[in-house]
Structure 1
Amino acid sequence: MVIKNVIWQLSEKIIRLTVTVVVSALMARYLGPEGFGKYNYITAIIAIVLVVTSLGFNRILVRESANCATEIEHKQIVTTALTLRLISSLCAIAIITLYILSLGNIDDIVYIISLLSVFFVSFDVIDYHLQGQSVFKVATSCRVAGFILSSALRVWFVYIQADIIYFYATILIEYAVAGILILIVSQTKYNVYTKISLSYFSYPKAKGLLKESWPEIIAGFGAIVFMKMDQIMLQRLQGDASVGIYSAATRISEAWYFIPTAIVAAVFPVLMRKYKTDKQDVMNHLSNIMSLLVWLSITAGLFVNFIGDYIIHIVYGAEYAESSIILKLHIWAGIFLCMGIVSGSWLVAEKKLKLNLYRNLTGLALNFALNILLIPQYGGIGAAVATVLGLAMAFFFFDLFHKDLRRMFWLKLTAFSPFILIKSIKHFLNEVKL
């Protein structure tokens, strides 16, 4: 079941990666560094807003779904979580819209088109609940449909040389199609787990979810700001063109992140069912996953540093030559991001989400300070260095200084061992045979 779920997760991400590389290259060449920078600036803003409006529910919903004992519990959790998400999304859209209008800059009003996508992402609640039941294909198929449609439109808009506002609209179309399809399919095929009705809304469950998730909201905010702060600060300190150059590099360096995300997402529900009865076995599984992902990150880093110049030239052209140095630096962030993804799941199981908050805020503070120091002099290169060091502090070194996380620090440290890697590969091959 785990391998099947990994395949479903990877299939969506591989399709997304392949299409994204092609479409991003076309957009970058057509829009130029400045236009491409504006487009990536708004996607960075949306990514940050989505973390806040998610209310920190994502991994908690997977865990709670896996522990549901009755049909009514399933329906109460889904309805309650979705209601809270929709309310938070509408509030965020209203607040940001009023802020944009108050600035009086007519050029910024077009951002509202893309911002409406936040509402439709709320239906991801259904996806995370189904993940707790090891059902991945629904959301995967729906997201692929939305992504393919929006990508086709982007290619068409490049062909007809459309204004950048049409590219903003494709962000809304992608999320709207995926969200509506997830809602329709889940209510018709999986309504035993996901039937939604206000009659199932539970105030005690709402209170419980919010009480546990608030550290995850802030921690998630810190984590996404790690990945997007560089683009926002570059835009403010050096302009749209610098964001375009930087984004060209990070689009490639972050392209393979779907692999650790898919593996952990597929394994997490299974581990949650085991956690109460055999914690040591779960820790062994986490050690194996950590080792595989760390070495995957090292391999990706070495590969990109050998041929990074050629990748940038082939994909984006000579206009983005500066992106190659940024790419070779930023690719190493993957090591620490993988550590954060795996250890974050462990913190959810342990119900120690405040620790996730503390480590994210520590890394974020370092990242911000380094961006302030390095961007004015080194531009995108400085931003890349700040991101890598910030992630290293948050997801690796921080664990050494906190007694409750020291065990996880040693697990991360031993993940660099080739002997642990061999053991992990053998374990994975045995799982496949089973």
Structure 2
Amino acid sequence: MSRKRFLGNAAILIATEVLVKILGIVITVLIARFLGVEQFGLLAFAYATSEMFLIVFDFGFDRMAVRDVARKPQRASRFLVNISVIKGGLYLPAALCCMLFVSLRGQDHGSLFVIMLAFLAVAAQRHMWFICSLFRAGQIMMREGQVRFVFASCSFMLSVVLLLLHFGLKEILFARLAALTLAIGLALYFAKRDLGLRWVRPDKRYAKRLLVRGIPFALMVICINLNMFLPTVALGMFQGDAAAGIYAAGLKLVEPFGMLPEAMSWAILPALSLAWGRSEAEFSTTLHDGLRYLSLLSLPLAVGILFVGRDAVVLIFGQEYLKSAAVLSLLALSLVPDYMNSLFSSMLMSMNRERTALRVSAAGAACTLIACVGLIPAFGPAGAAAACLISESLMFVVLVRLLHKSLRLGPLLACMGRIAVATAVMAGALVLMDSLGWNLFVRVPLAMAVYAAALVFVVREVSTHEARTGIDMLASRLPGKLRRSEP
């Protein structure tokens, strides 16, 4: 896969995530403001609990499908049918476990019904993502973008209408389920037309083989997602919905930036999988490019959020959520190791070392659990955020030690040093603008412009030709210029 094609695929996924996340943030803020901290906390707890149990039975089939179908596209039909049957069979015990768990919390019937509706929505959304993973394997990311945008826009419009009509969480979740049904139908239509998928009979022997092969992926996905959802669940269980709501507000402001490493990792996984064992030079170059681009994004994001986070919390969620500023700052610091860890995991999977990735993820999940137990009673939501930072940092150190021979650390460290200098220039600009009392909407775009200028003209990490190429490539994917063919 050429660098231009890899970047094109990443650009499509990032553009999709930007559109989806913007709509998600807006509806999240509306729910938080219209329904209050308690109801917002209940919704956050419901989603986190549902995700926590669904990942146990999800088996990481998305990642396995991207890697294996990218190598042999003719597997797509058998993957879709057999894995859909497996998922359907596994979701029932997941639902029963979820109900048993939340019943221990002493939920009333109304709250329990909300949690189970959230469970159905999360299960449907995960199946939509699985179908979209086939588009990623076939490197037609545009179809995933269309499916996910249809879901996000329909869910957004229905939710806004329901909130304006003073409906509650139950009606909003029903609207989300309706939007997911439409999106899944559209995804199946595209899969049949563009990937040549056809109905095949489920094969018990083949399904069993997929299930066994999926175990390392499943355990790895469980550990990765525990890092994400365990703090919210722990807060909801031990400190109530309000504490979960405070943490969720900070998390929701950081969460959209998680789309960047996720999109880069999904775009680079088929490229690394094809290059592994075929061309060491191509594998190394693709990996180094991915790490460089993530460094260019993660360092300024982390520093920028530290400087504007408090104002952003008050502006978006209101004074009621002021305690979320500390949560936001700690989660912002975890962005840098989180970005790198995401790409390192894709690297290990492409090298058929998913068991190594599993061990690292398990260590991270154990660290998150221990840190939550130790920090949440004393520091509440801020302690939960600190647990995430500690866990991501630990995994980063371990992965660098494991993969240092393949990472070309010298050029990477030199690159990160230059990016750090450009980030420091941006931080200085933010301090100056803050002292002058400039508005948040002025500070953010100006800081981005200062950082870009520092990269090009001060540290010369990005050439003017590279900057123009990136702008032209992104512009070519704006609405009205989208093409089915990839570069």
State if a TM-score over 0.5 links the two structures.
Answer: yes
Q: Is the 8 A contact 2:288 2:407 kept in 1?
A: no
SS in 2 for 1:134: coil
Q: Is 2:104 aligned against 1:106?
A: no
Report the count of equivalent residues: 425
Gapped regions of structure 2 (runs ≥ 5):
420-458, 474-486
**2:16 is aligned with what amino acid?**
E
Which residue, 55, 61, 68 being the options, matches 2:65?
61
Picking from 81, 86, 93, the partner of 2:88 is 86
Aligned residue number for residue 180 of structure 1: 185
Equivalent residue in structure 2 for 1:23, among 20, 27, 30: 27
Asked if 1 retains the 8 angstrom alpha-carbon contact of 2:49 and 2:98, the reply is no
- Of 156, 161, 169, the residue aligned with 1:164 is 169
Tell me which amino acid in the other structure corresponds to 1:244: G
Deviation, structure 1 residue 273:
2.0
TM-score, normalisation: structure 1: 0.89
Give the match for residue 3 of structure 1: 7
What secondary structure, in the 3-state scheme, does the structure 2 residue paired with 1:326 have?
helix
State the partner residue of 2:429.
none
Point out the more displaced range, 101-110 or 313-322.
101-110
What is aligned with 2:220?
219
Counterparts of 1:258 and 1:120 in 2: how far apart (Å)?
16
1:418 CA drift (Å):
3.5
- Residues 37 and 244 of structure 1 are in contact (CA less than 8 Å); yes or no, is this contact kept in structure 2? yes
Q: Deviations over 1:270-328 (max 9, x none)?
A: 33222231123212221221132134111011111111111111101111111112111
> TM-score when scaled to structure 2?
0.80
Give the Cα–Cα distance (whole angstroms) in 2 for the partners of residues 252 and 333 of structure 1: 13
Which residue of structure 2 aligns with residue 209 of structure 1? 210
The equivalent position to 1:33 in structure 2, one of 4, 23, 37, is 37
Deviation at 1:431, TM superposition (A): 8.0
Are residues 312 and 292 of structure 1, via their aligned partners in 2, closer, same or farther at CA, if it must alter by over 3 Å?
A: same
Contact kept, 8 Å, 1:16 with 1:147, in 2: the verdict is yes
C-alpha spacing 1:299/1:347, structure 2 compared with 1 (3 Å): same
Local SS of the residue matching 1:254? helix
Provide closer, same or farther for how the CA distance between residues 383 and 55 of structure 1 changes in structure 2, counting only shifts above 3 A. same
CA distance, structure 1, for counterparts of residue 375 and residue 324 of structure 2: 17
Q: CA RMSD for the aligned pairs? A: 2.8
Structure 1, 421-430 or 234-243: larger mean CA deviation: 421-430
How do 1:224-235 and structure 2 match up within 5 A?
224-235=225-236
Per the TM alignment, residue 184 of structure 1 is displaced from its structure 2 partner at its CA by: 2.7
1:154 matched to 2:155? no
Aligned to 1:328: 329
**Equivalents in 1 of 2:103, 2:332: separation in Å?**
38
Kindly state the Cα deviation for residue 36 of structure 1 after the two structures are TM-superposed: 0.7
Paired letter, 2:181:
A
Give per-residue Cα distances to partners, 1:232-281, cap 9 Å, x unaligned.
11111211001111111110112111122122222322332222311232
Matches of 1:379 and 1:326 in 2, distance apart?
10
Give the whole-Å Cα distance in 2 for the aligned partners of 1:413 and 1:225.
Answer: 33
Q: Which amino acid in structure 2 is aligned with residue 173 of structure 1?
A: A
CA, structure 1 residues 202+67, in 2 after alignment: closer, same or farther (shift >3 Å)? farther
| Aligned CA distance change for structure 1 residues 326 and 95 (closer, same or farther; 3 Å) | closer
CA deviation vs aligned residue, 1:305-363 (integer Å, no higher than 9, x gap):
11111111110111111111211111111112111211111111111111111111111
- Give the match's secondary structure for 1:338: helix
| 1:195 is the counterpart of 2:195 | no
Within 5 A, what are the aligned runs for 1:360-379? 360-379=361-380
Higher alpha-carbon deviation: 88-97 or 294-303: 88-97
Identity among equivalent pairs (%): 20
Q: Aligned equivalents of 2:177 and 2:237: distance in 1?
A: 25
Greater shift, 87-96 or 12-21, is seen at 87-96
1:398 aligned partner, one-letter code = V
In 1, the alpha carbon distance for the partners of 2:63 and 2:404 equals 22
Distance 1:415 1:428 in 2: 20
Q: Does 1:353 align with 2:357?
A: no
Change (3 A) 1:44 1:99: closer
Counterpart position of 1:249: 250
User: How many Å separate the matches in 2 of 1:338 and 1:285?
Assistant: 16
SS in structure 2 opposite 1:44?
Answer: helix
Q: Is the 8 A contact 2:151 2:183 kept in 1?
A: yes
The CA distance in 1 between the partners of 2:405 and 2:372, in whole Å, is: 31
Compute the displacement of 1:169 (Å): 2.6
**Residue 407 of structure 1: how far off its partner (Å):** 3.1
Contact 1:81 1:206 in 2 (8 A): yes
* Distance (whole Å) between structure 2 residues aligned to residue 420 and residue 206 of structure 1: 49
Distance 2:414 2:172 in 1: 42
For 1:291 and 1:214, how far apart are their aligned partners in 2?
Answer: 31
**Do the aligned partners of residues 183 and 253 (structure 1) sit closer, same or farther apart at CA in structure 2, a change above 3 Å counting?**
same
Task: Tell me if the contact between 1:23 and 1:155 (Cα under 8 Å) persists in the aligned partners.
Answer: yes
Unpaired segments ≥5 residues, structure 1: none
One-letter amino acid of the counterpart of residue 67, structure 2: R
Shift of 1:429: 6.1
Could you say what secondary structure the match of 1:161 adopts? coil
Cα shift at 1:104: 8.1
Deviation string, structure 1 residues 201-238 (Cα, Å, up to 9, x no partner): 34454344323321221111111110111111111121
Residue 416 of structure 1 and its aligned partner are, at CA, apart by 7.0
Q: Give distance in 2, aligned partners of 1:412 and 1:236.
A: 46
- Structure with the larger RCO, 1 or 2 (CA within 8 Å, 6+ apart): 1
8 Å CA contact retained: 2:124, 2:177? no
Deviation at 1:100, TM superposition (A): 6.0
Shift of 1:420: 7.5
From the superposition, tell whether residues 81 and 182 of structure 1 become closer, same or farther in structure 2 (CA, over 3 Å): same
Q: SS at the partner of 1:195? A: coil
